[in-house]
């Protein structure tokens, strides 16, 4: 399950995913969106991982696509 930094970052990442799938951005650019929008283990203080809200990545974007 993907963890996003906030609902806004989730939306930004979903839009970037749509653009990547359409060929409008490169894999390198998509990796930058991944790093910017998603929570990584280094972003979480030790012992606090359980307190981070998790947003399911199963909702449809504006194009009706499901992000995996």
Domain residue limits, the chain: 7-51
Bigger pLDDT: 55 vs 12: 12
Query: Between the CA of residue 8 and those of 1, 47, 50, what are the distances in Å?
Result: 17, 25, 21
Q: Is the pTM of this model over 0.85?
A: no
Q: What is the DSSP string of 3-67?
A: -BSSHHHHHHHHHHHHHHHTTSS-HHHHHHHHHHHB--GGGSPTT-GGGS----TTSB-TTSPBP
4: confidence class by pLDDT, cuts 50, 70, 90: very high
Helix, strand, or coil here: 66? strand
């Amino acid at each position: 399950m993907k963890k996003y930094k906030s609902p806004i970052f989730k939306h930004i990442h979903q839009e970037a995913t749509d653009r990547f799938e359409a060929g409008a951005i490169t894999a390198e650019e998509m990796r930058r969106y991944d790093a910017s929008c998603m929570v990584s283990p280094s972003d979480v203080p030790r012992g606090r991982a359980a307190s981070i809200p998790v947003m399911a990545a199963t909702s449809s974007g504006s194009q009706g696509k499901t992000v995996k």
